Amino acid sequence: MHKRYLMAPGPVSVAPEVLAKMSEPLIHHRSPQFSAILTDVREGLKYLYQTENDVFILASSGTGGMEASVINCLSPGDKAIVVRGGKFGERWEELCTTYGISSVNIDVTWGDAVDPADVESALDANPDAKAVFVQAHETSTGVKHPVQELGAMLRNRPDTILVVDAISAMGVYELRTDEWGLDVVVTGSQKSLSLPPGLAMVSVSDKAWKLVQKSTLPKYYFNFLKERKALGRQTTAYTPAVSLIIGLGEVLKNIRDTGLETLHTHHKRLSEATKTAITALGLELFARTPAEAITVIKAPEGINGQEVVKILREEYGITIAGGQAHAKGKIFRISHIGHLCEWDMLIAIAAVERALKQLGHPVELGRGVAAAEAYFADH
Ligand SMILES: Cc1ncc(COP(=O)(O)O)c(C=O)c1O
């Protein structure tokens, strides 16, 4: 018999009080009651994003928010610079290609962060590029890209916007939308917002609005101009995902009560304790500039990372994530996002120790757990 634990980087575990809130009897979306909720949620999102910009809420997974950003900001034949350092960077390129945008790709070795100098060179060589697309945190590799530096760079280029996929980063660590000049920022409900899948949120700066107003790519549902009009009436253009937005209200209320700084410290503790444990076990981290959202571990020589994931899921009841694309089998990933606390991390570390031992890797059981416990006790 197992107790089930969800420790993959999305979908993540959801707090019981949020699940309870979402299961309350449904209300109508064109009603003063829902408008009041939506107004609160929009204010909460501005707090989370640290922005004065509008933040739109779309009924889709995170990829829908990425697609919405491309089709609302660009026009056929436009050029964009894409940071491709993992599965989700590749998605930006695929979206651009789908819509006839010519993408100048900056290929980054998986596990590395983009070098801002490479983006600067690409911008110098392509001054007509309308946008730079990047991830704040590339979930497939665990890498944190330097979006603050990129934002500063693009401030001096009035015709190019910075579009940031912060789907697994927003709320995890510091991301200052306005202060850092992040023009379009995408998030999704089932990652750092600790909700079930189904919502994408996108903020749009004044600089980006200039492109939105000129954009001629085809769009119907994902339409920022329609959403902005609806927002003036305290509603959404089409039927919103009512229950998820009510859940989002609960999450944002908790975030405001707790404070962003405390939330960032929480993720930092979980992340650093886990990384300390992994190192104590003699294992290697995959990301060279790791984010606090997940810990990505290189499978030791002779061990298939997918086997570790399988043992945890099928024998211990614990879901973590494996590698994607060419990293499949080579890494495994433990989440720090979602409704998790330090005790959950000790469970994940203990399970990894046991699975590795089961697979014949020499580990001293308890060594990683002890290192993490010592970290938690000291921090
Ligand atoms: C950084 C990042 N971008 C985009 C996505 C895609 O989001 P979704 O699966 O919600 O469409 C994910 C999902 O793992 C992600 O982590």
Q: What would the pLDDT profile of 199-247 be if each residue is shown by its tens digit? A: 999 999 999 999 999 999 999 999 999 999 999 999 999 999 999 999 9
Together in a domain, 239 and 280: no
Closest atom of ligand 1 to 88 CA is: 3
Which residue, 258, 280, 304, sits at the end of a domain? 258
3-state secondary structure of 79: strand
Q: 373 C-alpha to center of ligand 1: Å?
A: 31
Together in a domain, 139 and 96: yes
Together in a domain, 35 and 117: yes
Which residue, 258, 290, 321, sits at the end of a domain? 258
Together in a domain, 178 and 210: yes
Over residues 74-92, mean pLDDT? 98
| 177 pLDDT more than 90 | yes
Together in a domain, 106 and 33: yes
Together in a domain, 139 and 179: yes
What CATH number did the domain enclosing 278 receive? 3.90.1150.10
Q: Is 139 in the pocket of ligand 1 (CB under 6 A)?
A: yes
Tally of domains within the chain: 2
What CATH number did the domain enclosing 66 receive? 3.40.640.10
Q: Is 135 in the pocket of ligand 1 (CB under 6 A)?
A: yes
Together in a domain, 106 and 47: yes
Is residue 1 very low, low, confident or very high in pLDDT (cuts 50, 70, 90)?
confident
Together in a domain, 306 and 367: yes
Residue 65's nearest CA partner among 170, 188, 169, 160 is 188
Give the Cα-Cα-Cα angle 203, 137, 294 (nearest 5 degrees). Answer: 125
Residue 188's nearest CA partner among 199, 173, 204, 180 is 199
Together in a domain, 79 and 103: yes
Q: Which of 63, 190, 194, 294 to mutate to test the pocket of ligand 1 (most atoms within 8 A of CB)?
A: 63
Q: Which domain holds residue 356?
A: 5-10+259-378
Round the average pLDDT of the chain to a whole number and report it: 97
Q: Is 61 in the pocket of ligand 1 (CB under 6 A)?
A: yes
Together in a domain, 143 and 272: no
CB 141 within 8 A of CB 111: yes
As beta bridge partners, residue 164 has 134, 185
User: How high is the pLDDT of residue 88?
Assistant: 98
3-state secondary structure of 243: helix
Together in a domain, 325 and 195: no
